[in-house]
A and B are shown apart, each in its own frame.
Chain A
């Protein structure tokens, strides 16, 4: 099997998967924009891996393939950094929510007996 067969199939599958996730409303707009751009760049590169050869040589990299590897590595690094940032924000919000629930519970406990209506804890 040729290298270009492997990479082109991968490119198409990745793009199709991104589109399907979007269609099912499982990717939010902010992630969708990033992944659509990545998909649109990756798919043609899969068909013509040699596209980058001249670009690679002009920035001092021996072949297009190693440039793709390098760029891919940097990209994955950035994406995981972004996810860490999002996870930190989510953690801060969960914390706020937990505190709010605790405050509401203490309010409920302050209510006179019988006024709660629901299940008592």
Chain B
């Protein structure tokens, strides 16, 4: 539990990450003793699940590979069933520095979804070529949709509050770029507030990244298609019952207010 009384779950989607996982989990435990972790082992062929369990993390093993989106949907359902107040998505490959998690949590007061974003002052990394154009296109369009400046829309480093956990547990796109772009568009279109926090990301500690520069051109085309679909798709009506402005969201706000008062008194 955080000092102000919130229960936080870090969800790590992992696919064949046995090599670096124990270091990543160790770092989380050391820097953030108040959080709990869930590793979603997505049909790994290596010892990912064993390594995670040995490091003291909860583990959910999928029988076959569902992709990051499928794994995250399971993560959000787990967070809902276990009553967590905050869910944070962190890569299992060590690219995301847990030292930034408190900054993400701090901004959850003013937004429902907080993204740890590169290209915003912190860190050195710059993309090149078609991949960079795709990222720029996504940033411009998504910034307009969410009414806030977004510089790294494909970042998998994000935190969300309880209403959004409920939302993602019911609706989470599992297709290509669904876990990043489409989930963001869906949440924004239903009225959830999005913010970003500048972070630096590290190079992968082990293995190699799934995206190569050769695939960057295809990436550009597919990103465009995903964006088009995300914008024209109709959001299921019953999801609006969870969004800001609904009675259930108002009840959530009241509860948060009471919790904060309790935390300052105690």
Chain A interfacial positions (CB closer than 8 Å to B): 19, 22-25, 28-30, 32-33, 93, 96-97, 100
Contacts and interface: CB of A to CB of B under 8 A. Distances in A.
A67 B232 CA distance: 34
13 contacts: A22-B229, A24-B233, A25-B236, A28-B175, A29-B176, A29-B225, A29-B226, A29-B229, A32-B225, A33-B225, A93-B63, A93-B64, A97-B63
Contacts of A19: 232
B225 A22 contact: no
Interface of B: 63-64, 175-176, 225-226, 229, 232-234, 236
Taking chain B's interface residues, is the majority helix, strand, or loop, or is none over half, making it mixed?
loop
A98 B225 CA distance: 35
Given A33-B225, A93-B64, A97-B63, A23 B175 contact: no
Given A25-B234, A29-B229, A96-B64, 5 more contacts: A19-B232, A22-B233, A29-B226, A30-B175, A32-B229
Contacts of A97: 63
A23 B189 CA distance: 14
Contacts, number: 28
Contacts of A29: 175-176, 225-226, 229
Contacts of B226: 29
Nearest 3 CB-CB pairings of A with B: A29-B175, A100-B63, A23-B234
Nearest to A24: B234
Nearest to A25: B233
A38 B225 CA distance: 15
A33 B228 CA distance: 11
Nearest to B232: A23
A22 B226 CA distance: 12
A94 B233 CA distance: 29
A22 B232 contact: yes
A67 B175 CA distance: 36
A95 to B, nearest CB: 10
Contacts of A24: 233-234
B173 to A, nearest CB: 9
Nearest to A93: B64
A94 B226 CA distance: 28
Contacts of B234: 23-25
A93 B63 CA distance: 9
A22 B236 CA distance: 13
Contacts of B232: 19, 22-23
A23 B63 CA distance: 30
B232 to A, nearest CB: 6
